[in-house]
Amino acid sequence: MIKNKAEIEKMKIAGNLASKVLLMIEDHVKPGISTNELNDICHNYIVNELECIPAPLNYRGFPKSICTSINHQVCHGIPDERILKKKDIINIDITVIKDGYHGDTSKMFFVGKPSIQAKRLVDITYEALKIGIKTVKPGATLGDIGNNIQTFAEKNHCSIVREYCGHGIGKDFHEEPQILHYGEKGEGLKLKPGMTFTIEPMINFGKKDVKLLPDNWTVVTKDHSLSAQWEHTILVTNDGYEVLTKRPGEEI
């Protein structure tokens, strides 16, 4: 769970490469493109340009190289022939493997000009992610992270998805501990320097309830309300945190 200096360096490289995929794909996210096309563009870039492995491909049977979750899809959407249209919101989730280590990040994109409601939800979710990240420091607990995210989301009349959470990450895609986006201050594992994990709140405009579609991957809101998610891979440092998947210009 605690990474040594050499492992941390590899995590930094993998995280930076994952962030590059989200920067690259941005210009392609527009009305008229299919999520399959987005998948193919990302796959080719990850494999040929970055010389990485797309971690989702064949992971526990997942058939694609990225996850694309649109509108009321919460997470783990499978790219297909669906065409993006104006006012859609989409989460693109990228995980790459470089030299055996994982970098994991996701971002919300607007397809054309978003509705007021969609923009508000996406902004609230991004702010919740930043609040969670800024909680990270040695001695803080996992409950502190979850409580700060939950409090902010609920204050803004949104709900936190309970069934899916962040996770430790390194040589394995998903390691211990689980990083819940709700909880009680002071509870759970205490953070120590060298830990690496994702924070990735999934926040719904409506109720928190979700369901799994028959494809056994795609998760949607039960009430069909919009859902948003942002994700970064975080390192606990001696005096705080470092965002390993930070994109240029991001202030976190």
What residue ranges do the domains of the chain occupy?
5-243
Q: What is the CATH number of domain 5-243?
A: 3.90.230.10
The radius of gyration of the chain from alpha carbons, rounded to an integer in Å, stands at: 17
Q: What is the pLDDT of residue 1?
A: 79
Round to whole Å and give the CA distance between 26 and 10.
Answer: 25
End-to-end CA distance of the chain: 24
In the chain, helix, strand, coil percent, each to 5? 30, 30, 40
* Separation between Cα atoms, residue 29 and residue 50, nearest integer Å: 20
Predicted confidence at residue 60, as pLDDT, reads 96
- Give the whole-angstrom CA distance, residue 92 versus residue 94: 7
Residues in the chain with pLDDT values less than 70 = none
| pLDDT tens track for 119-147 | 999 999 999 999 999 999 999 999 999 99
60: region left, alpha or beta (phi > 0 left; psi from -120 to 50 alpha): left
CA atoms 115, 117, 121, 126: torsion sign = positive
For residues 97 and 225, the answer to whether their CB atoms sit within 8 Å is no
